[in-house]
Chain A
Amino acid sequence: MKKTLSMALALLLALCCIGFASAEEKQTVTVWTSGSQNVQDLFTALADAYNAQPDAKYTATIQFILSGTGDESLSSRIAAAYQTGQTNTDFDLLADNTSSFQTYVDEAGSEDLFIAYDPEKIPGLDNVTVTPVIMPDKLVPYRCTTVVFAYDSERIPADELPHTWDELTDWIAAHPGRFAYNEPDTGGAGSSFVLSAIYRFIEDESAKTSNDPKWVDESAAGFEWLVNLHPNLYATGGKVLYPNKNQGTLDLLINKEVDIIPAWADQILTNVANGTLPETTSMYQLDDAPLTGSDVSFGIPSIGSNPDGAQDFISFVISPEGQKICLENMKAIPVISSDLIESDEKDLVSQLGNYNFISIGTLWADYLYPIWMEEILPL
């Protein structure tokens, strides 16, 4: 009896060891990202699908930081870890707007913050049709996102719709209170509008991808335009209001308090899909200068501890399966040809590829936003 018991216990112990051993085999890959709630939902779905693969070599975990609650500190944390010479952190993989990667590099003080990826380890890379404007050997785009003008086609007849910035200026003047953009520090739709308004006056195209403070001097024309726009924007209680967050302007469009807003295409599509915005909601860009968008990329920090796992996760996300999740979960614009994706929803985003790419690093936070805050907010 005793013998049987001890045998059974020994067997159990052995089983446990095997069990632990096989659990140990799977290394974790930690993916860091920030954004609105929809980004978290997307990454939760991606990680779940990745981990559910029968042959998954790694376990993906997500570290998500909601925008406006300390996302500024993600770049600082990574920069701090980099500058103090740490090498074995869990910053295995970072996902952010390609335009934002300049901020990470600026803060860390070196492009060596990210390692070049190994094309051999990311099968499917050939399918990716988008090339990042900065650090093309280090960043792998996995979706595109863009700010658009959104309106209800039932409320604005096609012949009244403004198609250039000048027409937009006239339209806003003719329809006071029917246009709004959100406080640009609280959401990307507002900052995209402000940036597009400023940079359309700067003729030198290279300004759009430069963090040189000299360009700030050329922002005056854009700010003047924004100042003139101010009195005719959405107002409540007799005062012009810049709503907080992308959701703030979306709510105004949903409640029919305004007719046109700059908004993220994916947020419009999601709201149309769940019925909060009517089916007649349309999106478009102005012909002379579209609003800004960005490809959203993966970068592998050199201070991470699992570059192989990071590249494996990237190859999953850019695979047709991963792209389908991005498209259906977030209405994201895919980075691979839509012919490769099997989904009913791919037509939704087929027209959205036309956007302006502006990547100016810390120029926004250090110079342009403070000007907006001092000159326009108190008007």
Chain B
Amino acid sequence: MVNQKSRWKTTLVIVGMLAPALIVALGIVIYPIINTVIKSFQDEATGAFTLANYTYLFTNKLSRAHIWYTIWVTFLTMILAIVISYLLALYLRFSESKAAKVISSLYLLPRFIPVLVAVYALKMIIGDSGLINRLSLLLPEGSPLYDFKPGLLYNAKGIIIANLWFNIPFATMIISAALSGISSSIVESARDVGAGKLRIFFKMILPLSISDVMIAATFVFMSNVSSFTTPYLIGANHPMMLGVYLRKQFSSRNYELAAAVSVLIFLFSSISAIVYIYTNLKEKEWEKD
């Protein structure tokens, strides 16, 4: 009886301590989400229930273009970021060279540069009248690269380049942590019994790190599907990423349509969240055995 009472007390204390965080979460996260979902089903003029906002989103040729554009830019960013990061992490983990040491202490640097600064720096370098173009103007007139215009800004290429700049360090960090958990001794013992490099990679390293790779991938996906600053500054006006489209609808006071776009972005993020949770759960199961 006494025991039960004190347990009840403990529970109360825990709930009491969690309450402020819970209230804040309810107020600034949960409530706006519910509000947005409701708004996305409302008619602009009457507030009555309607599917018109979603119908518009999926049938209008402009917004459909924006959705496809967002999906393929995000996927391409994710795939490129993960492949490059994986290779980089492998190099950093297994190379003893000096270069690897230097890179391993420098690769996180882009994370510490504010997005705006980095994007403007990128503009100055790869813009059609940027550094690359200015350097090409030093070549003799008439040579094939004279007045070379990279043509990388205001289209998907620029967005993807900027996204890679931000995401490679992050993904490399996560994958490096996973790779450092693989002890050198098992790699060496596999090598001792004659396993080739590729075999070691596919039979040992990849299976042991795949769940962290998936986690890195979901994070890259989530942060890019809703990105705003980069596509706003160096993206085209058409098609545009959903984050920019959302802002445009919002500033044109199409709040209901903006809400529907928000819900769509939220759904895209949820898919990657599900992948993340699923990967985590699988890991837990594996630990149980």
1/0 per position for A172-213, CB-CB distance to B under 8 A?
000000000001010000000000000000000000000000
Assembly CA distance A238 to B151 (angstroms): 7
Assembly CA distance A76 to B253 (angstroms): 10
- Report whether over half of chain B's contact residues are helix, strand or loop; otherwise say mixed: loop
**CB pair A72 B251 closer than 8 Å:** yes
A residues in contact with B61, CB < 8 Å = 374, 378
Total A-B Cβ pairs within 8 A: 49
**CB pair B151 A237 closer than 8 Å:** yes
Quick check: which of A18-26, A151-159, A239-247, A334-342 contacts chain B, the rest being far away? A239-247
- Which size class do B's interface residues fall under? 10 to 19
B residues in contact with A351, CB < 8 Å = none
Assembly CA distance A183 to B237 (angstroms): 8
Quick check: which of B92-100, B152-160, B171-179, B199-207 contacts chain A, the rest being far away? B152-160
Assembly CA distance A242 to B236 (angstroms): 8
- Residue B128 interfacial (CB < 8 Å): yes
Residue in A238, A256, A378 whose Cβ sees the most chain B Cβ within 10 Å: A378
A: number of interface residues (CB 8 Å): 24
Q: Chain A's nearest CB lies how many Å from the CB of B236?
A: 6
- Residue A365 interfacial (CB < 8 Å): yes
Assembly CA distance A70 to B247 (angstroms): 11
**CB pair A377 B238 closer than 8 Å:** yes
1/0 per position for B40-73, CB-CB distance to A under 8 A?
0000000000000000000001100100000000
Q: Chain B's nearest CB lies how many Å from the CB of A83?
A: 15
**CB pair B155 A239 closer than 8 Å:** yes
Q: Chain A's nearest CB lies how many Å from the CB of B274?
A: 33
- Residue B272 interfacial (CB < 8 Å): no
**CB pair B253 A256 closer than 8 Å:** no
B residues in contact with A373, CB < 8 Å = 62
1/0 per position for B226-256, CB-CB distance to A under 8 A?
0000000000111100000000000111000
Residue in B61, B129, B151, B154 whose Cβ sees the most chain A Cβ within 10 Å: B154
Assembly CA distance A70 to B153 (angstroms): 26
Assembly CA distance A255 to B252 (angstroms): 31
| Chain B minimum-CB-distance residue to A254 | B129
- Residue A27 interfacial (CB < 8 Å): no
Partner of A72, one of B153, B157, B239, B252: B252
Q: Chain A's nearest CB lies how many Å from the CB of B154?
A: 5
Assembly CA distance A237 to B156 (angstroms): 10
| Chain B minimum-CB-distance residue to A238 | B151
**CB pair A236 B149 closer than 8 Å:** yes
Partner of B237, one of A69, A72, A244: A244
**CB pair A237 B237 closer than 8 Å:** no
- Residue A73 interfacial (CB < 8 Å): yes
Q: Chain B's nearest CB lies how many Å from the CB of A372?
A: 11
In B120-167, which residues have CB < 8 Å from any A CB?
A: 128-129, 149, 151-155, 157
A residues in contact with B129, CB < 8 Å = 255-257
Assembly CA distance A73 to B254 (angstroms): 12
A residues in contact with B237, CB < 8 Å = 183, 241-242, 244, 377
Can you spell out 21 A-B residue pairs with CB atoms less than 8 angstroms apart?
A70-B251, A72-B251, A76-B253, A236-B149, A236-B151, A236-B154, A237-B152, A237-B153, A238-B151, A239-B154, A239-B155, A241-B154, A244-B237, A255-B128, A255-B129, A257-B128, A257-B129, A374-B61, A374-B62, A377-B238, A378-B65
